[in-house]
Amino acid sequence: MDAVVRDLTPQVLGVLVRRGADFAAAEDAVQEALVEAVRRWPDDPPDDPKPWLITVAWRKFIDANRRESARRTREVRLHDEPEPGPAEEHDDTLQLLFLCCHPALTPASAVALTLRAVGGLTTAQIAEAYLVPEPTMGQRISRAKRTIADAGVGAPGDLSRVLKVLYLIFNEGYSGDVDLAAEAIRLTRMLRGASDEPEVAGLLALMLLHHARRTARWTEDGALVPLAEQDRSRWDTALITEGVDILQDALAKDRLGEYQCQAAIAALHCDARSTEETDWTQVLEWYDELARLTDSPVVALNRAVAVGEADGPLAGLRALETVPADVPRRVAVEAWLRERVGDTVVAADLYVQAATAARSTAERDHLTKQAARLRHAPG
C-alpha cells in the first residue's frame, strides 16, 4: 500500500490544485483522504485507488472550505463534485512539479516543496536529508505554500527552473534514509516521459552518468576518492550505457544546451579506462561549448582543469587567472596545478588553505592529506 500511496499522492494533489484548491488546503485534504484510506482499504479495498482518493480528498476539501468559507481567497465551484468512477486520464503530477518550482520561491524552498508534494517524502525525511531541524523544514515548506497562494497558481516555474531544482536535489546525493539522487532521477525520468525537450534528456543523461560512478567515489570509511584514483570496474556500466544512449538522442535534435554539454563531458570520462587515457582534447572542446552557453565561473574553473590536462599545467594556470578568487575549490585547483608544475612548497600551502574552506569533512580530509603528502615527500 505504501508504494501505491506514494505514487498516487502527487497525482491526486495535482488534480485538486488544478480544480482550484489552495495548495496548502489541497494537501491537507489529501492527507485526510489517506488517513481514511488506511482505515478503510484493509477491509474494503477500492477497485481503482486513484478515483477513490480523488473523490474522498475533494469531499474533504469541500467540507473544510465550507467550514472556513470566510477565509476563502477564490471561488470554488462546490457543486461540481465528481462521483466515483474511472480515473482521470490526465496526470497532474507534472503540473504539480512546475507549480512547486514557482518563480516566487527561492531554490531552497522549491527543492523542499518538490520533495514534499511531488516526491512524497515526509517533512522529517527532508529535514534529515538537509541536516536541519524538522520544525525548521516544516516552516520552510509552509512558507513556500503561502508564497504560492499569495502569488497565485497562474505563473508556475518554467522548464529551466524545474531542471535546476531537480539538479539541486540530485547533487545532495544520499543523506539519512533518503536517496535524493535516486529521487531526482525518478522525477527527471517522469518529466522526460512527457517532454521531448533535449535539455530534459540531457539532464537525465548527466544524472545517470554521474550516478554510475557513485559507489567508487568513497572508501568504506567514507573517505573521498578522486576521479583519477577510482576503481573504474566498480562503475555501473548499465547506467553508463543508458546515459550515453539518452544523450545521443538529445544531441541528434541539434538544440544544444548546458546539460547536454555537461553530460557529454561526463560520457567522455566514463568512456576512458583511466585519467591518462581520457580524451582531454574533446573534454576541453565541450567545455568551450559550455562556456559559450553560460558565463558560470564554475564552468571556467572546470575548464581550467581540462586545459591543464590537455595543454599542460602552465596553460591551466593561465586559464585559472580568469576565474574569480572567491569561486569554491579554486584554491584546490591551483594547488593541483602548482604541484604539476613542480612548485610543491606553494602547492602544499594552497592545499591547506583549500582545506580550511572545504564544504564537507570528506573534502577537507582529502585536501589535508594532499598537503601532508607534499610536506613529507622526500627531497
Average pLDDT over residues 361-371: 94
Residue 56's pLDDT is 87
Residue 341 placed within a domain: no
Together in a domain, 51 and 99: no
Residue 152's pLDDT is 61
Residue 153's pLDDT is 52
Highest mean pLDDT among 68-77, 105-114, 154-163, 244-253: 244-253
Residue 344 placed within a domain: no
Do 262 and 241 form a contact (C-beta atoms < 8 A)?
A: no
Residue 44 placed within a domain: yes
Which residues have a Cβ under 8 Å from the Cβ of 333 and sit 6 or more positions away?
301, 304, 305, 320
Which domain does 8 fall in, by range?
Answer: 2-77
**3-class secondary structure, 41:** coil
Residue 74's pLDDT is 43
Residue 28's pLDDT is 85
pLDDT at 89 > cutoff 80: no
pLDDT at 330 > cutoff 90: yes
Together in a domain, 136 and 105: yes
The number of C-alpha atoms within 13 Å of 30 and in the hemisphere containing its C-beta is: 28
Tally the domains of the chain: 2
Together in a domain, 157 and 118: yes
Q: What is the CA radius of gyration of the chain?
A: 24
Together in a domain, 62 and 125: no
Q: What percent of the chain has pLDDT over 90?
A: 50
Last residue of a domain, one of 165, 194, 223: 194
Together in a domain, 70 and 112: no
pLDDT at 340 > cutoff 60: yes
For residue 72, what pLDDT band results from cuts at 50, 70 and 90? Answer: very low
Residue 253 placed within a domain: no
Together in a domain, 118 and 183: yes
Last residue of a domain, one of 49, 77, 105: 77
Together in a domain, 112 and 31: no
Together in a domain, 56 and 146: no
pLDDT at 310 > cutoff 90: yes
The model's pLDDT over 187-228, given as tens digits with 9 standing for 90+, comes to 999 899 888 999 999 999 999 999 999 999 988 888 889 999
Residue 221 placed within a domain: no
pLDDT at 49 > cutoff 50: yes
**Cell numbers found for residue 129:** 536529508
CA 135 to mean position of chain CA atoms: 23
Average pLDDT over residues 51-59: 88
The model's pLDDT over 7-39, given as tens digits with 9 standing for 90+, comes to 788 888 888 887 878 777 888 888 888 888 888
The model's pLDDT over 92-133, given as tens digits with 9 standing for 90+, comes to 778 888 888 888 888 889 999 898 888 888 888 888 878 789
Together in a domain, 126 and 160: yes
Which residues have a Cβ under 8 Å from the Cβ of 205 and sit 6 or more positions away?
243, 244, 246, 247, 250, 259, 260, 263, 266, 267
Residue 372's pLDDT is 95
Q: What percent of the chain has pLDDT over 70?
A: 89
Average pLDDT over residues 220-240: 92
Which residues have a Cβ under 8 Å from the Cβ of 23 and sit 6 or more positions away?
17, 99, 117, 145, 148, 149, 153
- For 224, phi then psi, to 5°, come to -75, 135
Last residue of a domain, one of 135, 162, 194: 194
Lowest average pLDDT, out of 68-82, 305-319, 321-335, goes to 68-82
For residue 1, what pLDDT band results from cuts at 50, 70 and 90? Answer: low
DSSP state of 179: E
pLDDT at 290 > cutoff 50: yes
Residue 304 placed within a domain: no
Residue 63 placed within a domain: yes
Residue 120 placed within a domain: yes
Together in a domain, 98 and 188: yes
**Cell numbers found for residue 3:** 508504494
Together in a domain, 96 and 190: yes
The model's pLDDT over 139-197, given as tens digits with 9 standing for 90+, comes to 999 998 888 877 765 545 689 989 999 999 998 876 556 788 988 999 999 899 888 99
Together in a domain, 31 and 122: no
The model's pLDDT over 259-281, given as tens digits with 9 standing for 90+, comes to 999 999 999 999 999 999 999 99
